[in-house]
Amino acid sequence: MARSAHYSKKDLLIELIRTNFKIKNNGSILGFIWVFLQPFFHFVILYFVFKFFRGSNPDENLAPKIMYALITFNFFRDGVIGGSSALLKYSSIITKVYFKRINIIHANLLINIIDFLLNIILITTIFSVFGKINLNLISSFYYLYIIILAVGFVYSLSLVLSIILIIVRDLRNMLKLIFQSLFWLSGIFYDLDSVRYSFRVLIYLNPISYVIDSVKKIVISGEVANLNLILILSLIVALSIPIAQYFFKRNIDKVIEYL
C-alpha cells in the first residue's frame, strides 16, 4: 500500500492544536479566558440552585465539589463528543493528503487535556487559598491516576466512535442526548452516598459517576474512594485502548472515502 510523505507527528500535532486554539479564540475579546469562564458560570448557577435546595442543611464543601465534578464531566463530554466528530471535522484534509489519521484523534484529545488541566490548576489554586483542598503526596498521585484513567477512557471511546460516526451520523445527536442524561446521573451536584441504594446500582453502571465521586473525595477530604471500581475501570481501559486502536486501524481505510 502506498503512503505519501514522511510526516513529523510532533509538528502536525502542534499545528493542529495551535490552529484549533487560534480559531476558537478568533475575534473574541476575552479569548482564552473563556476556557475558565464557561465552566465557572455553569458552576455559579448550579451552586446557587443547589445551595437554595439544601436550605438549613448546607454542605460547606458544595462549591469545590460541584466545580471539580463539573470540569471532570466536561472533559468526558467534550472529549468524547469532540473526538467522535474529529475525523469529520478534518475531512477536507484527510481526503486530500495522507497522514496517519490517528493523529487527528490525538490532537483532539490533547486539546481537551490542555483545557482540562488549565481548569484543574486554576480551581485548585483558588480553593487552596480558601483552605478547601486536602491534597497530600499520596492523594495527589491518586488524583493524577484518575485523570490518566479518564484520558484513557475518552481516548478509546473516541477511536471507536470516530469511525462509527462517519457511517452513522445520528451518533452525534445520540451522544449529545446521552451526555445530557448523564449530567443528571453522574453525581455532579449530589453525593453518590446520599442516593437510595436501589438507584445507586444504576448510577454505578455509569463509570463517569464513580470517577467524579472519587475525584471529589480525594481532592476535598483526601479519601481514596471506590478503589475496587477504579481498579476494574483501569482494567477495562487498559484492555480497551489496544482493542480500540486495532478497530481504528482496521476500519479507517474502509470508511475514509465516505467522509
Partner 1 sequence: MTQTAIKIKSLSKSFYTSQNTLRFLMDRFLPSRFQNKKDKVQVFEDINFEIKKGSFVGLIGPNGSGKTTLLRLIAGVYPPSNGKIQVNGKIVPFLELGVGFKPDLNAIDNIFLNGVILGMSRSFLKTKIEEILEFGGVKDFAHQQIKHFSSGMRIRLAFSIAVQSKADIYLLDEIMAVGDAKFKEKSLNKMKSLLSQNCTVVMTSHSENQIIENCEKVIYLNEGKIQFFGDVEKGIDLYRKDLEKNGV
Segment near partner 1 (CB under 8 A), from 45-53, 80-88, 95-103, 151-159? 95-103
Q: Is 173 in the site for partner 1 (CB under 8 A)?
A: no
Of 15-23, 36-44, 59-67, 133-141, the segment contacting partner 1 by CB under 8 A is 15-23
Binding mask 29-68 for partner 1 (x = CB under 8 A): ----------------------------------------
Cβ-contact 223, 136 below 8 angstroms: no
Instruction: Rule CB under 8 A: choose which of 34, 99, 183, 204 binds partner 1.
Output: 99
23 binds partner 1 (CB under 8 A): yes
Choose among 199, 107, 167, 83: nearest CA to 99. Answer: 107
- Segment contacting partner 1 by CB under 8 A, of 13-21, 44-52, 121-129, 175-183: 13-21
Distances (CA, A) of 116 to 96, 123, 227: 32, 11, 23
Q: How far is the CB of 15 from partner 1 (least distance, A)?
A: 5
Would you count residue 8 as binding partner 1 (CB under 8 A)? yes
- In whole angstroms, the minimum distance from the beta carbon of 91 to partner 1 comes to 11
Q: Are 79 and 115 in contact (CB under 8 A)?
A: no
Q: How far apart are CA 215 and CA 69, in angstroms?
A: 7
In whole angstroms, give the CA distance from residue 154 to residue 77: 9
At its nearest, how many Å lie between partner 1 and the CB of residue 252?
9
Stretch that binds partner 1, among 17-25, 59-67, 202-210, 227-235 (CB under 8 A): 17-25
| Near partner 1 by CB under 8 A: residue from 98, 183, 204, 247 | 98
In which region does residue 136 sit, left (phi positive, over 0), alpha (psi from -120 to 50) or beta (all else)? beta
39 contacts: CB under 8 Å, gap ≥ 6: 67, 70, 71, 74, 119
| C-alpha cell belonging to residue 35 | 476556557
Of the candidates 35, 62, 37, 61, the one whose C-alpha atom is nearest the C-alpha of residue 48 is 62
Task: Please report where in the chains the cell 484534509 appears, as a residue.
Answer: 93
- Given the complex with partner 1, which of 176 and 254 has the nearer CB atom? 254
What separation in angstroms does the CA of 231 have from each of 41, 57, 236?
34, 34, 9
To the nearest whole angstrom, how small is the minimum distance from the Cβ of residue 110 to partner 1? 15
Binding interface with partner 1 (CB under 8 A): 1-8, 11-12, 14-15, 18-19, 22-23, 26-27, 92-99, 167-168, 253-258
